[in-house]
Structure 1
Amino acid sequence: MNVRDTIVEGAGASQPNAPAAQIAALVARSRAAQQAFEFAGQETLDTAAAAAAWAIMEPSRNRELAELAVRDTGLGNADDKFRKNYRKTLGLLRDLHGTKTCGVIARNEATGIVEIARAVGVVAAITPSTNPSATPANKIINALKCGNAVIVAPSPKGYGACARLIGFIHAQFAKAGLDPALVQMLPAPVDKAATAALMREADLVVATGSQANVRMAYTSGTPAFGVGAGNVASIVTKTAKLREAAQQIAASKTFDYATSCSSENSVVIDQAVHDAMLRELGACGGVLLDARQKAQLQAAMWTDGKLSACCTAKSATQIARIAGLDEVAAREPAFLMVEEAGFGASYPFSGEKLAPVLTVYRARDFADAASIVRNLYAYMGAGHSVGLHTGEPHEAVMLGSTLPVARVIVNQAHCFATGGNFDNGLPFSLSMGCGTWGRNNFSDNLGFRQYLNITRVAYPIAEHVPGLDALLGDYFQRFGQ
């Protein structure tokens, strides 16, 4: 029996549907495995996380997963997925290395508080077709590190790659003597009813992907972490190093054909450097469309106001051909650019495109650039992130203090930096919380802390009751009693 057969058997053989009883049995197996695993000790938890990480990182398996993902979903390109699978997992291992996630994790003698890490139980991991291996792996590793079991609900298109990944994980578990029931997935075919049933049965839901899935997670009756919509904009100020900025934006925009929610959808350029920046973007492979070409592209990318799958995560050359822009396709562009001035549904290029298509806005100055970004996020993408290319780093704090964003990425390639990178301090993740701006209950990069409960033991300490004047004296002095 090969690895793939093992995972299909372990998850439940393919059936025409997955009734509630079948999901309940799947969760029961997961829960039994988790209850033994949770108290096995830090070494065992670390071993499980390492096994899941090596399952995806080993080069031959990684290559197979990357190619399978592109073959089955038609999204992105295998070389970039190969790099993503490796770097995102390596970065997560770096973040988790040496971190204590069970038993006593903190003592504060001054407050008398002792903190104990506790597992949450069975995690329902809802994952998208854009990253059918990297995102499940990230969630599985975090969950195992914290003593949990995981059941993955993959997108239907990404089912094969996810099943293969979990088969690889089970093979590593067999070497380490770990229970394969700790990592399972929904049986095929995955549908909304099965995913909803899993959400209801689990102890925690972590949802990445469509906003429909996120809303379903939030209304499942189970505690849930979900992410907001992407529609990232980057500002280029008059003090930016234009060549570096263009190279970073181009690398971010084209990586995996813009499957990432962190790829720039718009660039907002100070008018003082607008033309020069466009030249630099052109030197990086960007092709600026004229009004006629823009109209043709819009007709190809949106049908009845909805983003069409025909252009999603395809190369710029493919998209140009689909749009009938053969003269553009002949130039083999790395990405396409369109100029825009409006925002909202009547201006579809102002939204998320999930394709190597970059919308260009001209700003009068820095304040106007911030205003343009605010208008973009009022339509789509509030809470996610904003990029800033500037020679004045303090401007980033201004954006972070005024825009509805959870992250400000300064002078970096946005799609690599937002989810953590080796040259910044953000945690490695493929799921970005967008705070209340994005209708999320957290604004961090989804990481191991979201997979833990913390129990606090409170010991008695010497009583100290402050005087009223110590706390309200300043108020009394200014306003009286």
Structure 2
Amino acid sequence: MELRDRDLISIQQAREMAAQAAAAQKQFATFSQKQVDAVVEACASAALEAAETLARAAVEETGYGNVPDKIMKNRFGAVDVLHAIRGMRTVGLLREDKDAAIFEYASPVGVVAAIIPSTNPTSTAIYKTLISLKAGNAIVLSPHPSAIKCICQAASVMERAALSAGAPDGLIRCMSQTTLQGTQELMHRPEVGVILATGGTGLVRAAYSSGKPAYGVGPGNVPAAIERSADVRKAVADILAGKTFDYGTICSSEQSIVVEETVREPTLDELRQQGAYFLSPEEAEKVGHLVFQPGSHTPNPKIVGRPATVLAEMAGITVPAATRVLLARLEPHQVGREFPLSAEKLSPILAFYPVPDFPAAIEVAVRLLRFGGAGHTASIHSQDAEKIRQYGQAVPAFRVAVNTSAVHGSVGYSTNLFPAMTLGCGAPGGNITSDNIGPQHLFNIKRVARETRAVEHRSIPAERRMMADVRVEESPAERAAEAQPNPPRASVSVSAAAKAVVAKVLAIPMVTPATSPTGISLDRAAIARVVERVLSAQGIGRGSDASKRPSPAAASAAPVAPQQSASSPRTETPKPPAALPTKPPAEPPAKPIVKIEIAPFVSESDVRLAMTRSQKIFIGPKTIVTPSARDLGREHEVFVETGLASGSPTTRGDASA
């Protein structure tokens, strides 16, 4: 029966390709490091040769970005990534530490399910294929529906090269029919060992909920700070180079400029000279309406990867033909859902925040990242090493580009970071790692460790054991106590007395069934009686004052009612407690007063923290809630909506929150 339903076709492809990839990977797992490297080199060479063809195909199919920059991205994936992984050991024995007697071996995960976005389709396909194969895995690509042709074309180029280098058939597969159901089927396949998820928030969350290990990414809302000591001309050039690269399709592109007041005017002059158009308040409002889809806070895909002049036309405003970036001035407090231009914009639109000083710049940068880019990327332009250090430590971003474009710095093009198109955002961004993802994340490490310290076997007789008995060293105080001549009985330490007891017990002739005339050995009770007599003779018997002395913990504990039990030589019946004077009945406790704070701003991390503490978050009409925080908070009923303004405390008589 021929399948006609797209979902069914996609599901069937996912099943078949996962099985084919798993079979090919079993063969590939027998390859040596040299053979694996030959396959990777062949794929990279073929991708480099087809870089321009694939770039044109991507722009034609998706409408995002521009050909020159996509060529550069394809070459980055084929050349820079290859140079970074060349020479990396990923097969067989990785490390041998003879001193520690530990040997480490690589163990590939098997099949990698790679979700490929439409914004960077062919470059991401090249990059993910190379790092997956380098780690000894097979790969199945699931393209974004709007970029299927160019992604499968890139996969086909590399598949042919891999086969020519001796790779088994099925090592690289690309789904030609992709639907949400098909992608979910691929992620849940038993053959899949790990997921590389690059795409929207919903898709990344689906990858994390698949039950498989997954490397996802988070949104970027990159602030670029210009500190007063910066080379302003270069800073502006770097920022615009990053923001306009492929028309802003890379998620680590700059979204806002935060500039100190002392260098505001020079920065504005440079921005105008280098192609920025400053929007009037009315024009900024029109452009702001384009950022999100009507009636929602979902990013508008129609503005993604479009040139500034096209965006201006969409907003109904006129700008010079040479305009590279649309720039909107915002005040430092204008961060959040009510200000769409403060959000991530995968297009050449920038927000501009003038601030009085450097601490204020850090504060705005932190708020921008928490609003929509926690854990991703930030940048700073400064010649002051101390200010750079302060900024790097303060901002919640795991890549901080210094005096370079945030785009080129974060992916490792203009810095020594690992070259990557998948940038982890760590726990703040809901990711498992904050690394730039590479082959090292796509194989497990098996550790073989030899014994370096013998284990005592108590079933073996003492004289045959390889380990000596454990000896406890005396403390200086104990040695000093023993050195005193004839110390008075009252000053005898417990440890010295215990040693005397042990010495006397050890001095008793050992009686065994063999030596005893009656054939009966001393039992544990007999030994206990001897110890009891010796302790009593020393004045520290169990019934002596020493045994009655309370411990510090007992002294500080509240008194309890005496137990009604029979007395014994080891216990004394305590005297009944004296009668307590009667008191008038206490008044019932007043109802507790709980102070409620209306949150002015709520991020996803705030919601997760409240969930772990089983708390509620009180929000008002003016509370700024990030989109991901609102979805998560409503799903888990974390929010308590009030009619109060943020920052105005109130009280109530119960503590249900």
Same-fold call, TM > 0.5?
yes
Q: Paired residue for 1:44, among 32, 35, 54?
A: 35
Contact 1:39–1:147 (CA under 8 A) maintained in structure 2 = no
Q: 1:388/1:50 Cα in 2 relative to 1: closer, same or farther (>3 Å)?
A: same
Could you tell me how far 1:105 is from its partner in structure 2?
0.7
SS at match of 1:433: coil
Q: Counterparts of 1:428-467 in structure 2 under 5 Å?
A: 428-462=419-453
* Rounded Cα–Cα distance in structure 2 between residues aligned with 1:311 and 1:372: 25
Aligned AA for 1:217? A
Match of 2:497 in 1: none
Q: Deviations over 1:310-365 (max 9, x none)?
A: 22110001111111112x1x343011100112111111111101000111111221
Contact 1:14–1:187 (CA under 8 A) maintained in structure 2 = no
| Counterpart check, 1:322 vs 2:311 | no
Match of 1:476 in 2: none
Q: 1:183/1:462 Cα in 2 relative to 1: closer, same or farther (>3 Å)?
A: same
Could you tell me how far 1:21 is from its partner in structure 2?
4.8
Match of 1:264 in 2: 254
Match of 2:145 in 1: 156
Aligned AA for 2:131? N
* Rounded Cα–Cα distance in structure 1 between residues aligned with 2:3 and 2:109: 27
Contact 1:15–1:187 (CA under 8 A) maintained in structure 2 = no
* Rounded Cα–Cα distance in structure 1 between residues aligned with 2:91 and 2:181: 34
Could you tell me how far 1:55 is from its partner in structure 2?
2.3
SS at match of 1:306: coil
Aligned AA for 1:88? G
Match of 1:4 in 2: none
Aligned AA for 1:253? K
Aligned AA for 1:320? A
Contact 1:205–1:222 (CA under 8 A) maintained in structure 2 = yes
* Rounded Cα–Cα distance in structure 1 between residues aligned with 2:123 and 2:169: 19
Match of 1:361 in 2: 353
Q: 1:431/1:468 Cα in 2 relative to 1: closer, same or farther (>3 Å)?
A: farther
Q: Deviations over 1:248-301 (max 9, x none)?
A: 111111000000011100110011111211111111111111111111212233
| Counterpart check, 1:172 vs 2:161 | yes
SS at match of 2:316: coil
* Rounded Cα–Cα distance in structure 2 between residues aligned with 1:255 and 1:144: 29
| Counterpart check, 1:371 vs 2:360 | no
* Rounded Cα–Cα distance in structure 2 between residues aligned with 1:468 and 1:253: 68
The aligned length equals 453
Aligned AA for 2:431? N
Aligned AA for 1:434? C
Match of 2:302 in 1: 310
Deviates more, 1:222-231 or 1:20-29: 20-29
Could you tell me how far 1:84 is from its partner in structure 2?
1.0
| Counterpart check, 1:55 vs 2:52 | no
* Rounded Cα–Cα distance in structure 1 between residues aligned with 2:143 and 2:182: 11
Aligned AA for 1:371? E
Could you tell me how far 1:462 is from its partner in structure 2?
4.6
Q: 1:392/1:14 Cα in 2 relative to 1: closer, same or farther (>3 Å)?
A: farther
Q: 1:269/1:36 Cα in 2 relative to 1: closer, same or farther (>3 Å)?
A: same
Could you tell me how far 1:171 is from its partner in structure 2?
2.1
Aligned AA for 2:344? E
Backbone CA RMSD of aligned residues: 2.2
Q: 1:399/1:117 Cα in 2 relative to 1: closer, same or farther (>3 Å)?
A: same
Q: Counterparts of 1:213-292 in structure 2 under 5 Å?
A: 213-292=203-282
* Rounded Cα–Cα distance in structure 1 between residues aligned with 2:315 and 2:14: 43
Match of 2:484 in 1: none
Aligned AA for 1:420? G
Deviates more, 1:63-72 or 1:291-300: 291-300
> 4+ residue stretches of structure 1 with deviation over 4 A?
12-15, 19-22, 462-465
Deviates more, 1:330-339 or 1:434-443: 330-339
* Rounded Cα–Cα distance in structure 2 between residues aligned with 1:348 and 1:368: 21
Aligned AA for 1:27? A
Aligned AA for 1:198? L
SS at match of 2:326: strand
Q: Counterparts of 1:288-437 in structure 2 under 5 Å?
A: 288-302=278-292, 303-304=294-295, 305-326=297-318, 328=319, 330-341=320-331, 342-421=334-413, 423-437=414-428
Aligned AA for 1:251? A
* Rounded Cα–Cα distance in structure 2 between residues aligned with 1:388 and 1:230: 16
* Rounded Cα–Cα distance in structure 2 between residues aligned with 1:362 and 1:36: 59
Contact 1:13–1:187 (CA under 8 A) maintained in structure 2 = no
Q: Paired residue for 2:183, among 192, 195, 198?
A: 195
* Rounded Cα–Cα distance in structure 2 between residues aligned with 1:36 and 1:185: 19
Q: Paired residue for 1:29, among 20, 23, 33?
A: 20
Q: Deviations over 1:342-394 (max 9, x none)?
A: 11111111110100011111122111111101111221000001100001123
Aligned AA for 1:179? P
Aligned AA for 1:439? G
Aligned AA for 1:306? T
Deviates more, 1:248-257 or 1:331-340: 331-340
Could you tell me how far 1:448 is from its partner in structure 2?
1.1
Match of 2:93 in 1: 104
Could you tell me how far 1:127 is from its partner in structure 2?
1.1
Match of 1:78 in 2: 67
Could you tell me how far 1:463 is from its partner in structure 2?
6.5
Match of 1:127 in 2: 116
Q: Which protein is richer in helix relative to its size? A: 1
Could you tell me how far 1:20 is from its partner in structure 2?
4.3
* Rounded Cα–Cα distance in structure 2 between residues aligned with 1:250 and 1:453: 40
Structure 1 runs not aligned, ≥5 long: 1-11, 470-481
Q: Paired residue for 1:140, among 97, 118, 129?
A: 129
Deviates more, 1:126-135 or 1:165-174: 165-174
Deviates more, 1:254-263 or 1:270-279: 270-279
Could you tell me how far 1:53 is from its partner in structure 2?
1.2
Could you tell me how far 1:14 is from its partner in structure 2?
8.8
